[in-house]
A and B are shown apart, each in its own frame.
Chain A
C-alpha cells in the first residue's frame, strides 16, 4: 500500500497558550541563566574558576550564538568579586635609560605617583635653576672659576713678566708656545740676532731654556688645575641640587612612605638628579636653543635624556575600579594587544621616552579577563604569536614589529616586562578551533578549556517556557514593546524552523534578537502597544522578501516554461527532484527535472553530472549506490546488462549531496519499467543499497519550493512531495503550506522505501518477491526485473554471436 499523506498537524510544530500561560512578556520573570548552553556554561565556570596557567577558554560555536554576551556576562559577574588588581607604572631606569623599570603599586597609587612626580619635576625645574642663579651661588661658582683663572693667569703673567724683564716675549705659535728675544717690544730679526755676540746669544738661549722649562711645568699643570676646577664645580652643583630638591623629594617620599618599593625608587631619583641635573638642564637648553634657531641637527636626541626620565607613566591604573577588569579588544593588533612605544618627531629624528609607552589590552586586563575574537586575532600579523609568548612566559613584553624585523633603526626603549595574570577567552568558530588544535602544538597547552556553544537545544514544555522567558528578557534589555502570547509563540516557531527540527529550538541569539527588533518595528508602524504574532510574521515575511529576488526569478523561469518542470500528467523516466539553494542567510527550494535513459549495456549507471565534473563526491556516491541496489534486487543471478544515463536537466552549476538519489532511482526504475511517473509529485530523499529511504537536509525549503510552483500554476489537490519518513520530525512548514494540506490541496507523503515511492509515483503496486522467487506480474518490480532479464538475454545473444564470429574467423 502506498503511504498516506501526513496530517496537517504533522507538518508544523504545535504550541500555543496551552503551554505558554501568560498574556504578555511583561508577565514573565527575567531569565537568570543562559538557555540551551549548559555544556558551554559548565566549561566557562570551570575555566574561570581554574587559576592555574593554561586554563584559558576557547568559546567554540557559530557566530550569533551568544558567545560574547555569555562570556562577558559571566566574567563580569565573577570579576566583581575578584580583588582589584594593582597599578603598574613605568619609571626611569637611571643605570640604563632605554630600559624603563616597571613598578607595581596598590590600586590608585600609580596615578597619584605620576601626578606627584609631575609636580616634582616642574618644581625642580623652577627651583634648582633659581638656586643656581642666586647671587650667593653665582658668587661661589665665580670664586671657583676665578681661582682657576687666577692660578692660570698668575702663572702665565708671572712667566710673561719674567720673560719681559729679560727682553723675551711669550709667543703663541700655531701648535703651542714659544719664547722670542725682543728689541723694543718687537721680536728680534734673525740677522740682528746673528750679529749679537756669542755670549749674548748664549745668555738668551740659556734664559729661554729656563723659561721653556717653567712654561712646560705650567702647561703640564693646566689639565690638573682644570680637572680640580671641574670637580669643584661639580661638587658645588651637587650640593646645590641636593639642597634644592631635598625638601621636595622628602614630601613625595612622605606621601608614599607606605609603599616600600618607592623608597628605593625615590632614593635613585635623588641620586640621579644630584649627578645629572646640570647636564640635563644644559642639554635641554641647548635643544631649545637649537629648535629656536632651526639647528635641529645640533640638538641632542636620545631616549629619556631629559627631565622626562623622572616622570612616571601610569600604564595601568585601577584606582577607580571595583573588582577585576573585563576587557574586550575588538581590534587585537600586536600593538593593541601587548602595548607599544610611540615616537615623536624631533628635528627629523624619531624619538621617544617613557611617557610614550602605551598599554595594550593585556596590560589593561591584567589581573582580570580579556575577551578576543579568534579570526580578528589570527588575521593580525604577529598578534597570535605575541599572545602565546606572553601566556607562556607569564609576562607582557612590549614588542614592535618594525624592530623585530629591523625595519626601524631609531632610538627606542625596552620597557621591563610586566608579569601577566589574565584569563583569556577567545571566541571562534569550530573550524578555527579544530584547525588550531591540529596545526598549533602550543594551542592545546594554552587554551585547555573548550566551551562548546550549541546551535540549538532540545524542545520540551520546559525549554519552551524558558525560551519565552528569554524573549521576555531580551524584550526588556533591548527596550522593545512587550510581546503577547501569539508573538512569543511565533518567535518560538521561527526558532524551531531555524533549528530545522521539531524537537529542537534554535538558540542562535542574533537571529532571535533581529527578529524581535524587526517585529517591534512593525508594531510601532501599527502604533500597537504589544507585538503580536502577526507582527512577527510580517517581520519574517519581510526579511524573506528582502532576500528572495533570485527565488522569484527562478520561479518565474519555471512558470514561463524556460525551465521545464511539469506539475501534472505522467512521464517515463522523468522525476521532479528537489534541491536547496543557499544564498547568504536565505535558503530556498527549487524543483529540478531528473531524467533517466536506459539501454543494453555492461551494467553501468552513468551520472552525467559526474562525467562533466559538475557532481560532487557525495552526489556521485549516491548514484553508484543505485547500481548496487539494481544489481542486488533485480540481477542476482544474471549480469546487470544495463547502461543508464542520469541527468539533472537544465542544471548548470555544481551539484552536491545525495538527497536526489531516491529521485534518480525512481527515474531509472520508471525508465526500466517503461511506466510513467506522476509529475504532480516531487521527490526528495537519499537511498541506500537496500532501497531504504534516508533522511536529507532542507526538507522544509524543498517542500515549500515545489509548493510555490504548484501554487503559481494552481493547486489541483493531487500535488505533493514525497519525503523520507525520517524527515517528518523536521517539518516546520510555512502556514500556507499547512493550510493547503489541511484543505486537501497539497500532500506530503512519508516514504520508508523505494517501493513506497514507486507505488505513489506510478499508481502501481511495487510487488514483493513471492515463494517462486519472482515478483508478481503487473508490479513495478516485475516490470523492472523483466526488462533487465531481457537486457541480459540480449547481451548473452550478442556475446554468443560475437564468439561464433570469432571462432569462424579463426
Chain B
C-alpha cells in the first residue's frame, strides 16, 4: 500500500485495546489507517472502573469464556488481569506499528471507559473502537458515534462482530452533500488509493451533479472517485441491504446521516466510520 500525503484533517488516531480477538483485528485496521495517513497511532488500554467496582461487590462472580467455571472475582484478581492484559496489548501495538513503520504511543487510563476515551481523544482526530468497548454489554446497533459525541474527533470507527472475512475489497462511502459527507468521501478515497480498494460512493439524494462537485473539490480523491462506482440509494435500509450484499471492508458515513440510518447500517456488523467536520 502506498501512503497518501498527510492531511491536516487526520493528525492522530486512537485505538482502544483489549485482549479480545476483535481488538486485534481492530488494531490492524487502525495501524493500516495510520500508515495510510502517515500519522502516529495511540493505543489506549482502560482499567475499567465499572469492573473494579463490580469486583468489590461481595457477590461478584466471573463466568469463564468457555462457560465451564464460575470464579469469585476480587479487585486483586481484576487488577492482576489488567496488568497482564496491558503488557500483551502494548506488545501487540508495537508489533503492528513496526509492521506498518509508524510511530506509536501507549496509554493506560483508569476510570469509566466512555469518560476516559473521551478524555484521551481530545487530541485525536479518529477514534477506532470496538463494539465491545466498556464493561457493560450493549445492544446490537448501539450508536457509538453518539456515545462519543462529546469528543472532538473528526471520525469514529467502530469494528463490529464480522468474523468470516467474506468482505470484498470494496470501500463504500455514503454521500449526503454535507461538509461531513465531503470529508468522508475524501477520506474514503484516500483509504481506497492506499489500499488499492475499489470505491463505491452512494449518493443518498441521487444528485449526479454532486459527483462532479466531489471531483472538483478534491483532486486527489477525485482521481480515486473517478474510477469509483456511483450508486443512487435513498434510505438507510436500502444502504444496509446493499452493504450486506457487497460486504465491503469499510463503510464511511457522514455524521448528518440520521441516527436510525447509522444504527441500521451498524447492525450489518461491517466496520463503520462516522465522519464529522470540526466544530460540528
State A292–B245 Cα separation when bound (angstroms). Answer: 26
Would B245 and A135 count as touching, CB distance under 8 A? yes
What is the minimal beta-carbon distance from B53 to any residue of chain A, in angstroms?
A: 5
When C-beta atoms are compared, the residue in chain A nearest to B196 turns out to be A292
Query: Which candidate, B67-75, B175-183, B220-228, B272-280, is the interface stretch facing chain A?
Result: B67-75
Chain B 111-142 interface residues, beta-carbon cutoff 8 Å to A:
132, 135-137, 139-140
A282 to B166, CA, bound (A): 10
Instruction: Mark contacts of A156-183 with chain B using CB atoms, 8 A cut-off: 1 yes-contact digit, 0 otherwise.
Output: 1100100000000111111111111100
Shortest beta-carbon distance from B173 to chain A in Å: 21
> Which of B57-65, B147-155, B206-214 interfaces with chain A?
B57-65
Q: State in angstroms the CA–CA spacing of A40 and B244 once bound together.
A: 82
Does B256 touch A at the CB level, under 8 Å? no
Min distance, Cβ A189 to any Cβ of chain B, angstroms? 7
- Say yes or no for A460: interface residue by CB 8 A criterion: no
With an 8 A cutoff between CB atoms, is A120 at the interface? no
Q: A161 — nearest CB in chain B belongs to which residue?
A: B139
Given contacts A135-B245, A174-B85, A233-B164, whether A193 and B139 have CB atoms under 8 Å apart is no
Query: Is the Cβ of B136 less than 8 Å from the Cβ of A153?
Result: no
B234 on the A face (CB < 8 A) = no
- Which residues of the other chain, A, contact B168 by a CB distance below 8 angstroms? 133
One of B53, B58, B68, B137 near A220 (C-beta < 8 A):
B68
| Cross-chain contact A190 with B56 (CB below 8 angstroms) | yes
- Taking CB atoms, residues of chain B closer than 8 Å to A138 are 166, 245, 247
Cα(A133)–Cα(B166), bound, Å? 9
CA distance A222 to B166 in the complex (A): 21
Segment of A204-212, A443-451, A493-501 engaged in the interface with chain B: A204-212
Option from B19, B59, B62, B68 in Cβ contact (under 8 Å) with A205: B59
Q: Would A208 and B59 be within 8 Å (CB), given that A133-B168, A138-B245, A172-B132 are in contact?
A: yes
Check if B10 is an interface residue, CB within 8 A of chain A: no
Taking CB atoms, residues of chain A closer than 8 Å to B81 are 174-175
A141 interface contact, C-beta 8 A:
yes
B269 interfacial by beta-carbon distance below 8 Å:
yes
A142 CB–B CB distance under 8 Å: yes
* Docked complex Cα distance between A141 and B196 (Å): 26
Which of B1, B61, B65 has a CB less than 8 Å from the CB of A293? B1
Assembly CA distance A336 to B185 (angstroms): 59
Q: Does A216 contact B (CB under 8 A)?
A: yes
User: Is A217 engaged at the interface, CB distance under 8 Å to the other chain?
Assistant: yes
Chosen A-B contacts, 18 in total, with CB atoms closer than 8 Å, are A135-B245, A138-B166, A141-B166, A149-B269, A160-B139, A169-B136, A171-B51, A171-B136, A173-B51, A174-B78, A175-B81, A176-B62, A176-B65, A177-B62, A178-B73, A180-B54, A205-B59, A293-B1
Cross-chain contact of A177 among B56, B59, B63, B164 (Cβ < 8 A): B63
Contact for A157 among B53, B56, B140, CB less than 8 A: B140
Residues 130-162 of chain A: 1 if any B CB is under 8 Å from the residue's CB, otherwise 0?
A: 000101001101100100010001001100100
Query: Which residues of chain A have C-beta atoms less than 8 A from B245's C-beta?
Result: 135, 138-139
- A510 CB contacts on chain B under 8 angstroms: none
Alpha-carbon gap, A152 to B269, bound state (A): 14
Closest A residue by C-beta to B135: A171
Question: Closest CB-CB distance, A205 to chain B, in whole Å?
Answer: 5
B85 smallest CB distance to A (angstroms) = 6
Name the prevailing secondary structure of the B interface residues.
loop
Question: Size of chain A's interface in residues, with CB distance under 8 A?
Answer: 49
Contact across chains for A178 and B67 when beta carbons are under 8 A apart: no
* A179–B61 CB distance below 8 A: yes
Judge whether A171 and B50 touch: CB under 8 Å: yes
- Which residue of chain A has its CB nearest to the CB of B68? A220
CA gap between A189 and B269 in the complex, in Å: 34
> In whole angstroms, what is the CA distance A181 to B56 when docked?
12
Confirm or deny: A215 has a beta carbon within 8 angstroms of a beta carbon on chain B. yes
A221 to B, closest residue via Cβ: B67
B67 near A216: Cβ-Cβ < 8 Å: yes
Tell me the complex Cα distance, A157–B137, Å.
9
| Shortest CB distance A159–B (Å) | 9
Alpha-carbon separation in the docked complex, A632 to B82 (Å): 116
Chain A residues, Cβ within 8 Å of B68: 220
Other than the given A187-B50, A187-B53, A194-B58, 8 more pairs (CB < 8 A) read A157-B139, A160-B137, A171-B50, A176-B63, A179-B61, A193-B57, A208-B59, A212-B63
Contacts A157-B140, A187-B50, A219-B65; is A193 near B1 (CB within 8 Å)?
A: no
Task: Tell me, in angstroms, the Cα distance from A365 to B65 when the chains sit together.
Answer: 64
Find B57's partner among A157, A172, A190 (CB 8 Å cutoff).
Answer: A190
Q: Mark A622-660, 1 if CB is under 8 A from B, else 0.
A: 000000000000000000000000000000000000000
Contact A169 B137 (CB under 8 A): yes
CA distance A193 to B1 in the complex (A): 55
Name the distance in Å between B84's Cβ and chain A's nearest Cβ: 9
The answer for the CA separation of A204 and B54 in the assembled complex, in Å, is 14
Whose C-beta in chain A lies nearest to the C-beta of B166? A141
Q: Is B110 an interface residue (CB 8 A)?
A: no
Residues 31-80 of B at the A interface (beta carbon under 8 Å): 50-51, 53-54, 56-68, 70, 73, 78
Taken together as a complex, chains A and B put the C-alpha atoms of A202 and B65 apart, in Å, by: 26
Q: Is residue B99 contacting chain A, with contact meaning CB distance below 8 A? A: yes
A31 within 8 A of B: no
Partner of A171, one of B54, B64, B166: B54
Q: Give Cα A180–Cα B78 distance, bound, in whole angstroms.
A: 15
> B161 near A: Cβ within 8 Å?
yes
Q: Point out which of A156, A170, A190 has the most chain B C-beta atoms below 10 A from its C-beta.
A: A190
B165 within 8 A of A: yes
Q: How far is the CB of A113 from chain B (nearest CB, A)?
A: 34
Q: Which residues of A contact B66 (CB under 8 A)?
A: 219-220, 223
Q: Give the complex CA separation of A503 and B86 in angstroms.
A: 101
Residues of chain A within 8 A (CB-CB) of B60 are 178, 180
